[in-house]
Amino acid sequence: MPERTESESRKLLRRLRDTLATTGGGQDRLDRITHLIADSMGTEVCSIYLFRDPETLELCATEGLRPESVHQTRMKLGEGLVGRVARTGLPVNTANAPQEKGFRYMPETGEEIYSSFLGVPIQRVGEKLGVLVVQSRTAREFSEDEIYALEVVAMVLAEMTELGVFNGDADGMRALHKQPVMIRGGTGQEGAAEGRVWLHEPRVVVTNPVADDPLTEIDRIREAVGKLRVSVDDLLSAESLDKDQKAVLEAYRMFANSRGWLRRMEEDIQRGLSAEAAVEKEQSAARARLEQVPDAYLRERLHDLDDLSNRLLRILTGQGSDTGAAMPENPVLVARNIGPAELLEYGRKLKGVVLEEGSVGSHAAIVARALAIPLVIHADRITTEALNGDQILVDGDQGIVHLRPEETVARAFRDKIAMQAAAQQRYASLRGLPAQSKCGTVTTLMMNAGLMADLPSLDGSGAEGVGLFRTELQFLVRNKMPQRAELAALYARVMDAAHGKRVAFRTLDIGSDKVLPYMKPQDEPNPAMGWRAIRVGLDKPGVLRMQLQALIRAAKGRPLTVMFPFITELSEFQTARAMVMGELHREKSLGHPVPARVEIGAMLETPSLAYAPRTFFELTDFVSIGGNDLKQFFFAADRENERVRRRYDTLNVSFLRFLSQIIARCAETGTPLSFCGEDAGRPVEALAFAALGLRGLSMRPASIGPVKALLRRVDLTEARAVIDAAMEGGAETVRPALMDWLAAQPE
């Protein structure tokens, strides 16, 4: 067939737009579109396959194949040539389809007589919607121009699908963003919440994919790109940028000034697309290409291009991040990722947070824990599935999100929330009682905190103190180092709010997954085992001394408890402890009041410290087991890796034996010992720790009630006997034995 000229491409798109504008149901529109495309491209067949669910494609309309196969022919993602296009997001063009690798014959379609095959994805900015196919009897490959023309048509179909043009009553033709969706992610913070979606970055809606005047559209795209370049240059001129921020913006500038990028968008416009649709077409094509690239650095550039394209779309459409929409009641924040300062701005008005990215130790997770709101991470495609105002259920316990749930699901979820609320009311009656087991053993239950907003939970939860106050949040939410006076005032307010209860301030714990924007190390292949926590403090003593001075001044003569993170050997603790003593001497010599009593402790987060010389246990005033990191290093299971972090049971016999060794070493020297981390707040794990001899547990405030309730109804001596019997019996984990024993205990 002859090459498509630019005017013919625009003519096809205008005919397509006119067809879409006519009245009729979704199926009727699809049927007319397939006829139109086959006629315009001179092919015997045109078919549209749309996703019925994330893994299944369905033939929804065809010109040329057997009509009875519509809504009957289905294939899995990656199955056949159509499935390959859907999986890769890249075209398949072949002169002999039956001989092509992966070809799947569908006898009900009658397609065996068609040799040539061209399939292109129907996709919109990473959201795969379906596949558009043309076929002909003649054995030939389609030209570059024909491929390009079909991609442009597919782009318009994607926009129309997004806008609901094909919605109807036909099977498989339900509207996008109307169907119930369940997304399985990871647990960032436990808890359950029901609310309405609030998108951190609202989707840009393109309502005009086809344009009549290419010259006007080209002027628009050039003007918008010019504004984009100026905005990136302005950002780069900011003095507060660090090296890595500049590197990202330099990548932005490279894309923004790419002649190839602008040229391709102008070519798309010449074919008949509007400026906005041209931006999205190139964004979708780049996404498809980069998603196939194994190199992590190149894949990261995908985010740069995404962000830049979104900025350009907002310039073109005027749809800024502030759309004027009112935040719904009970908002659940949905975002690709979010920084701690931005999340803190939303504050406690949020019912929950759902992120496409994130990690269990990310800044957002730390803030979510501080705000006591459920967080689900790694929720794949949530930002493309969700719309502002959508009903959403967040199950932080299971790491599951239900978007636009069916009523049966919502009802069951509400029952779960009601049961949790009723349980919390029961726990409230225990608030003033000690966690005393039937055998008379008392376990001290403390809470973890990191914000002033946490402190009201100290009285409400029944916590006996703060076993861990994370001081890094005050550093993470700023773009420059906080001043000593600022920190001293904050720490003083924390002590005031504690009303005399003990607060263990952990010194700055940065590095690994907590990186300060103004103090970044060189890239490290394994940051969890790199330059972090006390290692940063000892290498940059000025920062650590400044924080110690702020803590001493905040005490104003009251008792002070300081805890150093990630101590791995005796000498690190000796050096850090000497710094505290030096600052105490300095403050006293300046005439400033010093704390009435100072406790200096260490977090045991690596197995090496458990085998430190006896001198360490004699020198330190207390030891707090940092369970999250210790488990990571003990099992060699990266806590940020969803595939392995849940693989190993905390009640594994090997891990419990290791904890017993730590307990014994501390008992020899009379060193107070506690366990801090997520596992301390899980009642069965807390029971096991207490039975082994741990007399202090620190957890999130909401966990104190459930843990106390369980400890008060059991005999720890009996629980220890169950654990010992399971160990001696060769069990890999004591959990089954402990659960069976608990089931037999009276309520």
Interval 452-462: pLDDT, tens: 767 777 878 88
Place of tokens 């654990």: 723
Percent of the chain with pLDDT over 90: 46
- C-alpha 157/C-alpha 26 separation (Å) is 12
Confidence of residue 337 (pLDDT cuts 50, 70, 90): confident
Instruction: Give me the pLDDT at residue 300, please.
Output: 61
β 465-470/442-449 pair status? parallel
- C-alpha 735/C-alpha 633 separation (Å) is 21
Confidence of residue 190 (pLDDT cuts 50, 70, 90): confident
Confidence of residue 236 (pLDDT cuts 50, 70, 90): confident
Instruction: Give me the pLDDT at residue 740, please.
Output: 95
Interval 698-734: pLDDT, tens: 998 888 999 999 999 999 999 999 999 999 999 999 9
Confidence of residue 41 (pLDDT cuts 50, 70, 90): confident
Instruction: Give me the pLDDT at residue 216, please.
Output: 93
Instruction: Give me the pLDDT at residue 747, please.
Output: 76
Instruction: Give me the pLDDT at residue 521, please.
Output: 53
Question: Which three-class secondary structure state does DSSP give residue 73?
Answer: coil
Confidence of residue 197 (pLDDT cuts 50, 70, 90): very high
- pLDDT, average across residues 491-505: 94
Q: Find all residues with CB under 8 Å of 355, minimum gap 6, and list them.
A: 188, 334, 335, 336, 337, 338, 364, 375, 376, 377, 378, 379, 382
Question: Which three-class secondary structure state does DSSP give residue 97?
Answer: helix
Dihedral sign for Cα 603, 607, 609, 610, please: positive
Confidence of residue 299 (pLDDT cuts 50, 70, 90): low
- C-alpha 617/C-alpha 615 separation (Å) is 6
How many Cβ atoms from other residues are within 10 Å of residue 478's Cβ? 16
pLDDT at 403 over 80: yes
Catalytic residues: 363, 676
- C-alpha 533/C-alpha 512 separation (Å) is 9
What is the maximal distance between C-alpha atoms in the chain? Answer: 96
Instruction: Give me the pLDDT at residue 170, please.
Output: 45
- C-alpha 16/C-alpha 334 separation (Å) is 35
Instruction: Give me the pLDDT at residue 404, please.
Output: 92
Instruction: Give me the pLDDT at residue 660, please.
Output: 97
Interval 624-680: pLDDT, tens: 999 989 999 999 988 777 678 778 899 999 999 999 999 999 999 999 999 998 899
Lowest mean pLDDT among 66-80, 285-299, 328-342, 552-566: 285-299
Asked if 236 and 253 touch (Cβ cutoff 8 Å), the reply is yes
pLDDT at 682 over 90: yes
Confidence of residue 173 (pLDDT cuts 50, 70, 90): very low
Would you say the pTM of this structure is higher than 0.75?
no
- C-alpha 483/C-alpha 490 separation (Å) is 11
- C-alpha 549/C-alpha 452 separation (Å) is 20
Instruction: Give me the pLDDT at residue 172, please.
Output: 44
- pLDDT, average across residues 43-71: 91
Tokens of 238: 């900011």
**Nearest in space to 384 (alpha carbons), one of 177, 553, 540:** 177
pLDDT at 6 over 70: no
Q: Find all residues with CB under 8 Å of 557, minimum gap 6, and list them.
A: 593, 594, 595, 596
Percent of the chain with pLDDT over 70: 87
More confident residue, 252 or 603: 603
- C-alpha 4/C-alpha 410 separation (Å) is 52
Confidence of residue 4 (pLDDT cuts 50, 70, 90): very low
Tokens of 144: 């570059």
